[in-house]
Copies of this chain bind each other. A is one copy, B any other.
Amino acid sequence: MKKAVVLLSGGLDSVTTLALAQSQGYQCHALSFDYGQIHAAELGAAIRAAQQYAVAEHKIIRAGLGDLGGSALTDRSIPVPEQPGSGIPVTYVPARNTLFLAFALGWAEVLGALDIFIGVNAVDYSGYPDCRPEYIEAFAKLANLATRSGIEGRHFSIHAPLIQLTKADIIRTGIRLGVDYAETISCYNADEQGLACRVCDACRFRAQGFAEAGVTDPTRYRT
């Protein structure tokens, strides 16, 4: 069985990505981060998904990204927008996916895995630069220059299977694979119980996805 490292935040996209990797026959090693995110309830969702899919191993790594500040997701003094805006929103966490992929690459190298899965999406998304196909391609190039495996001619694949799907298509894919979306947490404002705010970007894209897919939204909202 081929090993893969799967980045798992506990949100709709990453849990679907885990289900996909599992369905493709990979032995999955799930990787989550306690990075100072205010919506840390997502880690509970990550743990439940890792259990449901019986992953080979699930690591939760401490990474002090929140110490750098500069994002509404890590700094309580910057409010999460409740209306759609233009440009890159304040929920953008500088270099977050580069950091997550760096850890995934390190773990893959230790495990002898060459496949890394990340649930980024560049269709129904917040416009973060590090969710675009050209970014993922650049990381793959970097990965092969950065590592022992790359130098020895064993090349890494960075799989972003959702990158060109609509949110509705992601949900349809997950439902086909048995994902329990009630257990996933996408909300940027999720409270300690994991209840969603309904108004942030992440909630809006998610609710719209369920509506477009014709699926009853199972999200647990606060109001």
Residues of A with Cβ closer than 8 Å to B?
59, 61-65, 67-70, 88, 92-99, 101-103, 105-107, 109-110, 129-130, 132, 134-135, 138-139, 141-143, 145-148, 150-151
Give the contacting residue for A62; candidates B64, B98, B106, B138; CB below 8 A: B64
**How long is the Cα–Cα vector from A101 to B65 in the complex, in angstroms?**
12
Kindly list the 10 A-B residue pairs having the minimum CB-CB distance in the complex, ordered from nearest: A95-B106, A70-B110, A94-B109, A98-B102, A94-B106, A99-B102, A61-B64, A95-B105, A138-B142, A135-B145
A176 to chain B, nearest CB (A): 32
Give the contacting residue for A88; candidates B69, B139, B148; CB below 8 A: B148
Residue of B whose beta carbon sits closest to that of A141: B138
Chain B residues with CB below 8 A from A94, complex form: 105-107, 109-110, 147-148
Chain B residues with CB below 8 A from A148, complex form: 88, 92, 94, 129
State whether A64 touches B63 (Cβ < 8 A): yes
Residue of B whose beta carbon sits closest to that of A103: B99
A62 to chain B, nearest CB (A): 5
State whether B151 touches A129 (Cβ < 8 A): yes
Chain B residues with CB below 8 A from A129, complex form: 145-148, 150-151
How many copies of the chain does the oligomer comprise? Answer: 2
Chain B residues with CB below 8 A from A65, complex form: 103, 106
Chain B residues with CB below 8 A from A69, complex form: 110
**How long is the Cα–Cα vector from A145 to B130 in the complex, in angstroms?**
7
Chain B residues with CB below 8 A from A132, complex form: 145
**How long is the Cα–Cα vector from A174 to B139 in the complex, in angstroms?**
34
**How long is the Cα–Cα vector from A26 to B146 in the complex, in angstroms?**
28
State whether A145 touches B134 (Cβ < 8 A): yes
**How long is the Cα–Cα vector from A143 to B94 in the complex, in angstroms?**
10
Give the contacting residue for A146; candidates B95, B105, B141, B146; CB below 8 A: B95
Beyond known contacts A135-B142, A135-B146, A141-B142: 19 more, CB 8 A cutoff: A61-B64, A88-B148, A92-B148, A93-B106, A94-B107, A94-B109, A95-B103, A95-B105, A95-B146, A97-B146, A98-B105, A99-B99, A99-B102, A99-B106, A129-B146, A129-B151, A130-B147, A134-B145, A138-B145
